[in-house]
Amino acid sequence: MSYRFRSVVALLVLSLWSCASPAQPALPLDSAGARASAANAEPVFAGSALPTPIEHVVVIIQENRTPDYLFQGVPGADIAQYGIDSRGQRVPLRPVSLGLRHGLQHSHAAFITDYDNGKMDGFDKGLPFRVHLRPFAYAPESEVKPYHEMARQYVFADHTFQSNQGPSLPAHLYLISGTATDRALDRYRFADNSFDQKTNETEAGGCDAKPFILVPTIDLQTGNAGPSVFDCLNRTVLTDLLDEQGVSWRYYQYAKGPGFWHPFDEIKHVRYSPQYRNVITPSQQILKDLARGRLAGVTWIAPRDDWSDHGGRHATTEGPAWVAAVVNAIGSSRFWKNTAIFVIWDDWGGWYDHVPPPIYNAYELGFRVPLVVISPYAKKSYVSKVQHEFGSILAFTEETYGIPKGALGSTDERADDLRDAFDFTQRPRAFVPIKAPPFDPGRSAPTDDEDP
């Protein structure tokens, strides 16, 4: 189908948007949930339920920040300048560097404390008085100008909520499957990061982890703790459906094996099949692949720890430069004209945010996280007030590639599809490079694993 013809069809389809039929049931799976390996030819377009010029979906995943922290001053955005602490005091947010090497609690228990039944006043509770104001912060604009430029040029979705109320390991699973659970676990979800059953210390999980590395679960209905289980899952992920459509995919991560940001290392039928060749290391390989004219139909990019915006022992100010390097590499490539880029942060990281999340059950939804949508078809300088979550990116991807919305049977069913961020009738915008400090992908990595 030619681009011109697809564009005409898109206009007709979008005009009938309000009459769209209900989502069809999920595509059938065989007993192992396995799928044939994705085609290697790139780029790939396999048709669309709602035809668009989009042939590449790229999800850049950063870590542990909120809109109130990262996007102070973005015009039209719902951003607070002060918070309420656990003493009921109004606390002005103050500048705190991305590179400050302290971490904040962001477990499920920390969510319950911070949320405080919707009062959003528990972020400092339990902290020593001398540091109790740490969560009430925002990034100096000088450090995050690339993020602000992206948001001001394109779309800032300021009502995007983390789908889960916990930290990185389950959050990254939600980003590829709309949930964090095994088929056999029914109403339970992974509640927190994996841990060593012998020492009770946090420890990276996955199919290659030691058998005593387990993940705690939570009962969605009651909020009670469920069984702790080995982190090697048997469930459908988006790539199973992409493989059926012949759509290529890649997941870039810094290393393979157990990890808090390595979701495909936790999916048994991917980890131990030819599909696993689509998990690419290290993260910065995406820059080399783009330079060589390679980009899959769907791409996830997880960061290296010291480029991730994560607080703690590896914190730096290099996250904005890393993201800008990837965005600029796509923007200057032949792929720009038909790509949608989603820059998303995986959880709130313990930082203050003033908007109470909608609560669907004992573990969903979580706090707001930033989302920036970048594309030649993204609306200009638009702040989306539609409620989004991780499942929204999945739903957009499904519809882009002719997969029924909600086919995963998870959060992609209830979520919107981010179509409000795009205008596929507009003339595609020329890419304007994002100004950012130089980024060095060859600098030596920290010696230990990423923070959770």
Q: What tens digit of pLDDT does each residue of 102-145 get?
A: 889 999 999 999 999 999 999 999 999 888 899 999 999 999 99
SS (H, E, C) the chain: CCHHHHHHHHHHHHHCHHHCCCCCCCCCCCCCCCCCCCCCCCCCCCCCCCCCCCCEEEEEEECCCCHHHHCCCCCCCCCCCEEECCCCCEEECEECCCCCCCCCCCCHHHHHHHHHHHCCCCCCCCCCHHHCCCCCEECCHHHHHHHHHHHHHCEEECCEECCCCCCHHHHHHHHHHCCCCCHHHCCEEECCCCEECCCCCECCCCCCCCCCEEECEEECCCCCECCCEECCECCCCHHHHHHHHCCCEEEECCCCCCCCCCHHHHEHHHHCCHHHHHEECCCCHHHHHHHCCCCCCEEEECCCHHHCCCCCCCCCCCHHHHHHHHHHHHHCCCCHHHEEEEEEECCCCCCCCCCCCCCCCCCCCCCECCEEEECCCECCCEEECCCEEHHHHHHHHHHHCCCCCCCCCCHHHHCCCCHHHECCCCCCCCCCCCCCCCCCCCCCCCCCCCCC
For residue 365, the model assigns a pLDDT of: 98
Q: How would residue 15 be classed by pLDDT, with cut points 50, 70 and 90?
A: very low
Whether pLDDT at 358 is above 80: yes
For residue 214, the model assigns a pLDDT of: 98
pTM of the model as a whole: 0.89
Q: What tens digit of pLDDT does each residue of 259-299 get?
A: 999 999 999 999 999 999 999 999 999 999 999 999 999 99
Q: Where are the domains of the chain?
A: 56-250+284-421
User: Mean pLDDT, to the nearest integer, of 373-389?
Assistant: 98
User: Mean pLDDT, to the nearest integer, of 340-367?
Assistant: 98
Q: How would residue 438 be classed by pLDDT, with cut points 50, 70 and 90?
A: very high
Whether pLDDT at 398 is above 60: yes
User: Mean pLDDT, to the nearest integer, of 427-433?
Assistant: 96
Q: How would residue 314 be classed by pLDDT, with cut points 50, 70 and 90?
A: confident
Top pLDDT among 41 and 68 is at 68
The CATH number of 56-250+284-421, from 3.30.70.20, 3.30.70.100, 3.40.720.10, 3.30.70.270, is 3.40.720.10
